[in-house]
Amino acid sequence: MHIQGHSNTVKDVKLNALLVMTKAINNNLSTSQLLDIYQDILENQLKVGKLVLFSFDTEWTCILKYGVDKAFNHLKFEPELLDIKEIETISFSNGELSKSFEIVIPVYHKSTPLAFVLLGDIDEKKLEVSAAIRHLPFIQTLTNVMVVAIENKKLSKQSIQRAAIQKELELAQGMQRLLFPTKLPNTEEVEMSALYLPHQQVGGDYYDVIWLNEFEFIFCLADVSGKGVAAALLMSNLQAALHLLLRYTQNLSEIVIDINQLIFDNAKGEKFISLFIAKYNIATRKLSYINAGHNAPILFNNDKFLTLSKGCTLLGIINPLNALDSETILLSKQSFLLAYTDGLTDTTNSKGESLALEEIEAILLKNRNGTCEFINNALLYYLEEFKAEMPFADDIALLSCKFR
Among 90-104, 241-255, 381-395, whose mean pLDDT is lowest? 90-104
Task: Work out the average pLDDT over 345-355.
Answer: 83
Neighbouring CB atoms inside 10 A of 273's CB total 27
Most confident of 61-65, 155-159, 229-233, 338-342: 338-342
**If you average pLDDT over every residue of the chain, what do you get?**
83
- Of 266, 263, 310, 313, the C-alpha closest to 293 is 313
Residue 290 sits in the same domain as residue 361: yes
Q: Is the pLDDT score of 93 beyond 60?
A: yes
> What CA–CA distance (Å, rounded) separates 194 from 219?
11
- Name the domain boundary from 125, 157, 189: 157
Q: Are 276 and 251 in contact (CB under 8 A)?
A: no
Q: Is the pLDDT score of 396 beyond 80?
A: yes
Within a domain: residue 3?
no
Residue 223 sits in the same domain as residue 324: yes
- Of 371, 278, 365, 273, the C-alpha closest to 329 is 278
Q: Are 254 and 275 in contact (CB under 8 A)?
A: no
Within a domain: residue 344?
yes
Q: Supply the range of the domain harboring residue 365.
A: 180-403
Most confident of 93-97, 150-154, 188-192: 188-192
pLDDT value of residue 257: 94
| CATH value at residue 110 | 3.30.450.40
pLDDT value of residue 331: 96
The alpha helices in 268-352, defined as continuous H runs, are 343-346
* Res. 346 pLDDT band, cuts 50 70 90: confident
Residue 127 sits in the same domain as residue 214: no
Residue 271 sits in the same domain as residue 302: yes
The tens digit of pLDDT for each residue in 291-319 reads: 999 999 999 999 999 999 999 999 988 88
Residue 341 sits in the same domain as residue 382: yes
> What is 219-282 written as a DSSP string?
EEEEEESS-HHHHHHHHHHHHHHHHHHTTT---HHHHHHHHHHHHHHHHTTS--EEEEEEEEET
E strands, 143-212, are 190-197, 205-211
pLDDT value of residue 174: 57
The tens digit of pLDDT for each residue in 183-234 reads: 898 999 999 999 988 766 566 788 999 999 999 999 999 988 766 666 777 7
Edge-first strand listing for the sheet containing 103-109 = 60-66, 48-56, 112-122, 103-109, 88-89
E strands, 96-178, are 103-109, 112-122
Residue 34 sits in the same domain as residue 113: yes
pLDDT value of residue 108: 86
Supply the DSSP symbol for 92: -
Residue 153 sits in the same domain as residue 240: no
Residue 197 sits in the same domain as residue 346: yes
Q: CA torsion angle for 28, 33, 38, 42 (degrees, to 10)?
A: -150
| CATH value at residue 258 | 3.60.40.10
Residue 32 sits in the same domain as residue 83: yes
Q: How far apart are the first and last CA of the chain?
A: 84
Residue 203 sits in the same domain as residue 256: yes
Give the rounded percent of residues in the chain with a pLDDT score beyond 70.
Answer: 84
Within a domain: residue 164?
no
Among 10-24, 90-104, 132-146, whose mean pLDDT is lowest? 90-104
Within a domain: residue 192?
yes
Q: What H or E segment, with its residue span, contains residue 221? A: strand 216-224
Residue 66 sits in the same domain as residue 197: no
Within a domain: residue 2?
no
Within a domain: residue 102?
yes
Q: Is the pLDDT score of 333 beyond 60?
A: yes
Within a domain: residue 217?
yes
> At residue 187, what is the residue type?
T
- Name the domain boundary from 94, 122, 157: 157
pTM of the model: 0.61
Within a domain: residue 346?
yes
Task: Work out the average pLDDT over 95-118.
Answer: 82
Residue 273 sits in the same domain as residue 312: yes
Neighbouring CB atoms inside 10 A of 201's CB total 15
How many domains is the chain partitioned into structurally? 2
